[in-house]
Amino acid sequence: MAKDKAGRWEILSRAANILVGTKRHSRRAWNCRCECGTERVVAEAALRNGTSQSCGCLTRERSSQKHTKHGATVGGNTPEYKAWNAMLQRCHNPKNKRYAQYGGRGIVVCEAWRHDFLAFLSHIGPRPTAKHSIGRIDNDKPYEPGNVRWETGKQQMRNRTVTRYFEVDGKQVSLAELAERYGLPSNTLRNRLLKGWPQDKAFHTPVSGTGPKGPRKKA
């Protein structure tokens, strides 16, 4: 070919003709190197008519550009993008109505995600269901790798700042989760633990009586 570039392909040298189609037609081909470094034999016709412009990296980049930080394209309408943008607003926009609960108390988005939606999306992945939203595992730490996940509403309620945690078998477990696990009212379990009951007794003693002093005796 006369020119040594076609799209992102750099044409290196003539290659052995390639056979295509059911009738095994022979077509001229060239050894090419993509700008990303991938080398491949490409049919001359594909280079001339623009059918092949890269090894595939150009298509992938165009696809990823749907997720722009300005939200002007299709990517800006995705649930993942909206979650990312809402996270930034409540942490870094003092005019946001939820700023006091987040940025106002020092909760920020890590630098790697603040200006790069794709980095955030790569870490957290697609939203599992419409019932999931972004949550932090430790509510006193920032939005950063290892501290964010997709959570259901139930998980988020358990992880609220006001939730009380107790250490069980070396792990911090919410009161709500413990109450559900052992089938006890949250208030009952909290009172037992705060009074110093041994955990085994607090978890496994059934609730009896109709009030704090137990059932009244019949006259």
For residue 184, which of 169, 206, 159, 167 has the smallest C-alpha distance?
206
Q: What whole-number distance in Å separates Cα of residue 101 and Cα of residue 106?
A: 9
Residue 193 is inside which H or E element, if any?
Answer: helix 186-194
* pLDDT tens digits along 110-140: 998 988 888 888 888 888 888 888 888 877 7
What percent of the chain has a predicted confidence (pLDDT) above 90?
16
Greatest extent of the chain over all pairs of C-alpha atoms, in Å: 111
Instruction: List beta partners, residue 13.
Output: 31
Q: Please report, for the chain, the start and end positions of each structural domain, with discontinuous segments joined by +.
A: 5-63, 66-152, 164-205
The whole-model pTM stands at: 0.43
Q: What is the mean predicted confidence (pLDDT) over 138-165?
A: 73
Give the CA dihedral 146, 147, 151, 157, nearest 10 degrees.
150
If you average pLDDT over residues 8-33, what whole number do you get?
Answer: 77
Average pLDDT in the 57-67 region?
A: 61
